[in-house]
Structure 1
């Protein structure tokens, strides 16, 4: 009976939703990071500060999550910023010293695409809060480089968040309130946690989003809900093996995420109370920020340029520490990181 009801709904009110899912599936490959570049990042030793390693990339993304929370930006801004970051890192041979500038620049570009104009942080304020060693002109120059290398940047890139929201709408519609379904806020928080790990950049957005939902529904043991998962899987031509592979990684990620071993950002904006003298020092420091060294624009298959300028390591301390944790450490313990790379 439930299967007939679900089929009937697919043929009726959800036809437009199915078409939108199909259109997004056709476009998702255009927003995927280059696989060869992802492998290069994974292969880079964590202790090598000349190349961007997976550890370095993940630490930078966690800091972007902290900035997203601080400025009250949406999940879409964060996910779109990381998508641009990964795509850029996998087509360009980037030195670790330039990663902070690239990450902040991607966040600023994503905010301008997604957020309302009055909600966008001024460039100088973004640089100051992130405690970065570059100037406004450096950020503008980096924005131009990223735009040129990534080509035309769409306001609404097709990401795992795109599919997550479409799937959620489909489930709520098709089950008609008969199944207790996780809120979109919970699912988005889980997606942000996955986004902080490079391994999930390998997944197709449609598959990662469905894996998150399928993992949540597993605990509910709802036959109706699982039938919807199977129908979506069949409609979007997602193999059982592919879905199972990413479900297992998502389950491992969520086990760490909900454990007491890892710190998570709270969703409230950080509030600073500083003295007048501290505020004056901050303003003074903004006037003497060293410039960003010249950034070589070589691709992955080109030789790396040597740069003897001041080191800008990705492990540089930031004013806000680990996002939302007051410097309490990374989101995930090292055990999860090593297991993902096996």
Structure 2
């Protein structure tokens, strides 16, 4: 047991050194240019949109996270050395994704090219993807095995667990694999932002790990210094990268304001509520006292104009108006029943006119009570 930890530490140091050498050999700074009048360069917003599109497609296909990380790496390497036009960006992106899937996935998990071209909506045929595949491979010297930021993230995470196994004690119910999955989601979110393109993958992964250490471990600074020595990274560069990553993750964790209010008021729902008589009843059928006129005479300004002017909506609106008239008739019958109950329509001699005399007296609008006859 005493020899297990040094051997494992040596193995991780060897993997880190090998990945760092591959990154130093192949990594080039991709500086996206702002769109010009000729529209001959891919803008930063267009690059980020293409990466977001690849991320959505990756989630729908449920492939390995290494596939998406390698696809983004191939795309950025190709755009760093080739002046591509924006109209070919979707074709380039789907080609990089197809190359990454054939490199990282099992043979039975690699999507068919015809199905991938149809379901992705890239707007290009399988033959065009194959031609673009040959162009990408020629420009990258047929070498796709570069060190991705996800590879550095996995190595740094294993080193932290080896030195500080209490790293995950604060996360209840989360094992090391699940914790790496959470950090991988943060990494993919950072890769969607062109502001981090000038940062190496090793620097980006180390910034994510140190930000997580700062939240979980009291002695995170000593672990960070140890990782800096093993990765041979300047501390001043790490500080600047940490600020960029923290700013990027802040938008990922709180993308909406805390007091967001959603209002749901579709047109079909309002029509349905009018037909049922629910929701629009206080507006269409106001409470009316006895003697108040009904219909349009109750509103001196006339009926409110309907906001629905589409011909297809006239039929439901006519139904709603017909039902409203029926309900007004029922309300009139209800008040007529009250009048008959209090003998408002019939006078002492059985004639009509007591209601008029009551109104001339200037008393209460409610009809006078009558004694109940004893049988």
TM over 0.5: yes
Cα 1:178–1:111 shift into 2, 3 Å = closer
Stretch of structure 1 that moved more, 173-182 or 209-218:
173-182
Over the aligned positions, Cα root-mean-square deviation in angstroms equals 2.1
Asked whether the 8 Å contact 1:46–1:56 carries over to 2, the reply is no
Specify every segment of 5 or more residues in structure 1 that has no aligned partner in the other structure, as ranges: 1-7, 263-342
Partner in structure 2 of residue 16 of structure 1: 11
Cα 1:176–1:132 shift into 2, 3 Å = closer
SS in 2 for 1:81: helix
Cα 1:178–1:135 shift into 2, 3 Å = closer
Partner in structure 1 of residue 54 of structure 2: 64
Provide the rounded CA distance (Å) in 1 between the counterparts of 2:244 and 2:160: 23
Partner in structure 1 of residue 194 of structure 2: 198
Q: Deviations over 1:289-329 (max 9, x none)?
A: xxxxxxxxxxxxxxxxxxxxxxxxxxxxxxxxxxxxxxxxx
Partner in structure 1 of residue 84 of structure 2: 94
- RCO comparison, higher one (Cα < 8 Å, 6+): 1
1:126 to 109, 113, 116: 116
1:172 to 141, 147, 161: 161
Matched, 1:187 2:187: no
Cα 1:178–1:80 shift into 2, 3 Å = closer
Structure-to-structure mapping, 1:97-246, within 5 angstroms: 97-154=87-144, 156-177=145-166, 179-180=168-169, 183-223=179-219, 225-246=220-241
Shift, 1:45, TM fit: 2.4
SS in 2 for 1:202: coil
Specify every segment of 5 or more residues in structure 2 that has no aligned partner in the other structure, as ranges: 172-178, 258-375
TM-score, L = length of structure 1: 0.68
Asked whether the 8 Å contact 1:9–1:174 carries over to 2, the reply is no
Provide the rounded CA distance (Å) in 2 between the counterparts of 1:150 and 1:249: 29
Q: Deviations over 1:228-264 (max 9, x none)?
A: 22111022221111100100000000000011339xx
Stretch of structure 1 that moved more, 12-21 or 100-109:
12-21
Partner in structure 2 of residue 256 of structure 1: 251
Partner in structure 2 of residue 31 of structure 1: 26
Cα 1:111–1:46 shift into 2, 3 Å = farther
Asked whether the 8 Å contact 2:90–2:122 carries over to 1, the reply is yes
Asked whether the 8 Å contact 1:212–1:247 carries over to 2, the reply is yes
Q: Deviations over 1:109-162 (max 9, x none)?
A: 1000000111111111111111122111000000000000001224x4201111
Asked whether the 8 Å contact 1:14–1:170 carries over to 2, the reply is yes
Shift, 1:9, TM fit: 8.7
Provide the rounded CA distance (Å) in 1 between the counterparts of 2:180 and 2:167: 17
TM-score, L = length of structure 2: 0.62
Q: Deviations over 1:87-125 (max 9, x none)?
A: 111111110000000000000010000001111111111
Asked whether the 8 Å contact 1:163–1:209 carries over to 2, the reply is yes
Shift, 1:10, TM fit: 7.1
Cα 1:216–1:178 shift into 2, 3 Å = closer
